[in-house]
Structure 1
Amino acid sequence: MVRICMLTLFLLAMQFHWSYTHGSSDTIRKAYIVYMGKAPQSKSSAIDLHHNLLSSVVKNENVVSVFPSKMRKLHTTRSWDFLGMPQSVKRNHQIESNIIVGVLDTGIYIDAPSFDHKGFGPPPSKWKGTCQVGGNFTSCNNKVIGARFYNHGAPTSNPNPSPLDDEGHGSHTSSTIAGVTVAGASLYGLAKGTARGGVPSARIAVYKVCWVDGCSDIDLLAGFDDAISDGVDLISISIGGYSDSYFDDSISIGAFHAMKKGILTTCSAGNDGPSLYTVGNTAPWILTVGASGMDRQFRTLVKVGKGIQTYGFSINTFSPKRRLYPLTSAAKSANANLTLGHSPWLCDEGSLDANKVKGKIVLCKEGLIQDYVKPLGVSGAIVSLDQQQDTGFTFIIPAAFVDTNFGDKIDTYVNSTKNPQAVIYKSRAVRNAASPFVASFSSRGPNILSSTVIKPDITAPGIDILAAYSKLASVTGDLEDNRFGVYNIISGTSMACPHVTASAAYIKTFHPRWSPAAIKSALMTTASELKIKDVQAELAYGAGQIDPVRAVDPGLIYDLSEVDYIRFLCNEGYSGTALRFFTEGNTNCSSIPNIGGHDALNYPSMYLQLNNPNTSISAIFHRIVKNVGSKKAIYKATVKAPANLKVTVVPKELAFSHLNEKKSFAVVIKGPPLKNITSVSASLEWSDAKHKVRSPILIFLAN
Structure 2
Amino acid sequence: MDMHTLLLSFLFVSVLHAHTTISTGTENFDASTVDTYIVHVRPPPNFSVDMSSIKLEKWYRSFLPPRMASSNTHQAFIYTYKTTIFGFAVDLTEAGKEYVMKNDGVLKVYKDNLLPLLTTHTPDFLGLRLSGGSWKKAGMGEGVIIGVLDTGIDFTHTSFDDDGMQEPPAKWRGSCKSSLMKCNKKLIGGSSFIRGHKSAPPTDDSGHGTHTASTAAGGFVDSASVFGNGNGTAAGMAPRAHLAIYKVCSEKNCRVSDILAGMEAAIADGVDIMSMSLGGPARPFYNDIIATASFSAMRKGIFVSLAAGNSGPSSSTLSNEAPWVLTVGASTIDRQMEALVKLGDGHLFVGESAYQPHNLDPLQLVYPQVSGVNYCFLLKDVAGKIVACEHTTSADIIGGVVKNAGASGLILLGQEDSGHTTFADPNVLPVSYVDFPDAAVIRQYINSSNNPTASIIFNGTSLGKTQAPVVAFFSSRGPSTASPGILKPDIIGPGVNVIAAWPFTGGQDANDAKHKTFNCLSGTSMSTPHLSGIAALVKGTHPDWSVAAIKSAIMTTAYVVDNQKKPILDERFNTAGHFAIGAGHVSPSEAIDPGLIYDTNEAQYISYLCGLGYTDVQVEIIANQKDACKGSKITEAELNYPSVAVRASAGKLVVNRTVTNVGEANSSYTVEIDMPREVKASVSPTKLEFTKMKEKKTFSLSLSWDISKTNHAEGSFKWVSEKHVVVTEKPGLQNKECNRVRGCFFHRAGSGVHGYKDSKVQLQDKLQLSRILGTVNENIDINL
Both structures adopt the same fold (TM-score exceeding 0.5): yes
- Taking a change above 3 Å as real, the CA distance of residues 466 and 53 of structure 1, as seen in their structure-2 partners, is same
Equivalent residue of 1:681, what SS? Answer: coil
Equivalent residue of 1:132, what SS? Answer: coil
Number of the residue aligned with 2:389: 364
Distance 1:598 1:262 in 2: 22
Number of the residue aligned with 1:384: 413
Distance 1:214 1:26 in 2: 32
Number of the residue aligned with 1:687: 720
Number of the residue aligned with 1:400: 432
- Taking a change above 3 Å as real, the CA distance of residues 402 and 578 of structure 1, as seen in their structure-2 partners, is same
Distance 2:408 2:588 in 1: 44
Equivalent residue of 1:211, what SS? Answer: coil
* AA matched with 1:359: G
Larger RCO, structures 1/2 (Cα 8 Å, 6+ apart): 2
1:380 shift after superposition: 1.9
Distance 1:245 1:642 in 2: 32
Matched, 1:447 2:480: yes
State whether residues 34 and 67 of structure 1, in contact with CA within 8 Å, keep that contact through their aligned partners in structure 2. no
State whether residues 236 and 498 of structure 1, in contact with CA within 8 Å, keep that contact through their aligned partners in structure 2. yes
- Taking a change above 3 Å as real, the CA distance of residues 170 and 674 of structure 1, as seen in their structure-2 partners, is farther
Out of 157, 172, 178, the position equivalent to 1:112 is: 157
Out of 157, 167, 175, the position equivalent to 1:130 is: 175
Matched, 1:96 2:135: no
* AA matched with 2:405: L
- Taking a change above 3 Å as real, the CA distance of residues 70 and 536 of structure 1, as seen in their structure-2 partners, is farther
Matches within 5 A, 1:486-497: 486-497=517-528
Task: Please list every run of 5 or more consecutive structure 2 residues that lacks an aligned counterpart in the other structure.
Answer: 1-20, 24-28, 57-81, 562-567, 739-784
TM norm structure 1:
0.85
Out of 480, 493, 504, the position equivalent to 1:471 is: 504
* AA matched with 2:422: T
Number of the residue aligned with 2:51: 25
- Taking a change above 3 Å as real, the CA distance of residues 690 and 484 of structure 1, as seen in their structure-2 partners, is closer
Matched, 1:511 2:556: no
- Taking a change above 3 Å as real, the CA distance of residues 138 and 16 of structure 1, as seen in their structure-2 partners, is closer
State whether residues 194 and 258 of structure 2, in contact with CA within 8 Å, keep that contact through their aligned partners in structure 1. yes
The C-alpha deviation readout for 1:654-698, integer Å capped at 9, x for no partner, is 2222111111111111001265x6520110111122211101111
| Further displaced range: 172-181 or 224-233 | 172-181
State whether residues 247 and 581 of structure 1, in contact with CA within 8 Å, keep that contact through their aligned partners in structure 2. yes
1:278 shift after superposition: 0.8
- Taking a change above 3 Å as real, the CA distance of residues 657 and 97 of structure 1, as seen in their structure-2 partners, is closer
State whether residues 174 and 498 of structure 1, in contact with CA within 8 Å, keep that contact through their aligned partners in structure 2. yes
Distance 2:543 2:107 in 1: 32
State whether residues 119 and 235 of structure 2, in contact with CA within 8 Å, keep that contact through their aligned partners in structure 1. no
Matched, 1:623 2:643: no
The C-alpha deviation readout for 1:581-603, integer Å capped at 9, x for no partner, is 22223133022x245x6633110
| Further displaced range: 274-283 or 381-390 | 381-390
The C-alpha deviation readout for 1:71-110, integer Å capped at 9, x for no partner, is 4554492111111211223536779332110001111111
Matches within 5 A, 1:295-374: 295-305=334-344, 307-312=346-351, 314-320=352-358, 323-331=361-369, 342-347=371-376, 349-350=377-378, 352=379, 354=380, 356-365=381-390, 367=392, 369-370=397-398, 371-374=400-403
Distance 1:330 1:95 in 2: 51
Distance 2:628 2:390 in 1: 58
1:277 shift after superposition: 0.6
Number of the residue aligned with 2:578: 538
* AA matched with 1:373: V
Identity %: 36
Equivalent residue of 1:327, what SS? Answer: strand
Matched, 1:456 2:489: yes
Out of 468, 475, 481, the position equivalent to 1:435 is: 468
1:255 shift after superposition: 1.0
State whether residues 595 and 724 of structure 2, in contact with CA within 8 Å, keep that contact through their aligned partners in structure 1. yes
Distance 2:256 2:708 in 1: 40
Distance 1:330 1:483 in 2: 36
Distance 1:594 1:437 in 2: 39
Matched, 1:603 2:641: yes
- Taking a change above 3 Å as real, the CA distance of residues 616 and 116 of structure 1, as seen in their structure-2 partners, is closer
Number of the residue aligned with 1:172: 211
State whether residues 422 and 434 of structure 2, in contact with CA within 8 Å, keep that contact through their aligned partners in structure 1. no
1:630 shift after superposition: 1.4
* AA matched with 1:562: E
Matched, 1:15 2:3: no
Distance 1:560 1:124 in 2: 27
1:577 shift after superposition: 2.0
- Taking a change above 3 Å as real, the CA distance of residues 253 and 73 of structure 1, as seen in their structure-2 partners, is farther
Equivalent residue of 2:531, what SS? Answer: helix
State whether residues 126 and 231 of structure 1, in contact with CA within 8 Å, keep that contact through their aligned partners in structure 2. yes
Distance 1:167 1:474 in 2: 16
* AA matched with 2:412: V
1:492 shift after superposition: 1.2
Distance 1:679 1:72 in 2: 37
Out of 641, 644, 647, the position equivalent to 2:681 is: 647
Distance 1:433 1:140 in 2: 41
Matches within 5 A, 1:217-296: 217-296=256-335
Equivalent residue of 1:281, what SS? Answer: coil
State whether residues 112 and 255 of structure 2, in contact with CA within 8 Å, keep that contact through their aligned partners in structure 1. yes
Equivalent residue of 1:383, what SS? Answer: strand
* AA matched with 1:25: M
| Further displaced range: 284-293 or 369-378 | 369-378
Distance 1:126 1:678 in 2: 51
| Further displaced range: 366-375 or 553-562 | 366-375
Distance 2:733 2:560 in 1: 17
TM norm structure 2:
0.77
* AA matched with 1:518: A
1:235 shift after superposition: 0.5
State whether residues 325 and 421 of structure 1, in contact with CA within 8 Å, keep that contact through their aligned partners in structure 2. yes
Task: Please list every run of 5 or more consecutive structure 1 residues that lacks an aligned counterpart in the other structure.
Answer: 1-9, 39-48, 332-337, 476-480
Distance 1:54 1:567 in 2: 32
Matches within 5 A, 1:62-81: 63-71=106-114, 74-75=117-118, 77-81=120-124
Equivalent residue of 2:714, what SS? Answer: strand
How many residues align? The count is 650
- Taking a change above 3 Å as real, the CA distance of residues 604 and 426 of structure 1, as seen in their structure-2 partners, is same
1:301 shift after superposition: 0.7
Give me the CA root mean square deviation: 3.2
| Further displaced range: 597-606 or 682-691 | 597-606
Equivalent residue of 2:264, what SS? Answer: helix
- Taking a change above 3 Å as real, the CA distance of residues 588 and 425 of structure 1, as seen in their structure-2 partners, is same
Number of the residue aligned with 1:43: none
The C-alpha deviation readout for 1:24-82, integer Å capped at 9, x for no partner, is 129995533567899xxxxxxxxxx9xx9998415556544322223455449211111
| Further displaced range: 522-531 or 10-19 | 10-19
Equivalent residue of 2:713, what SS? Answer: strand
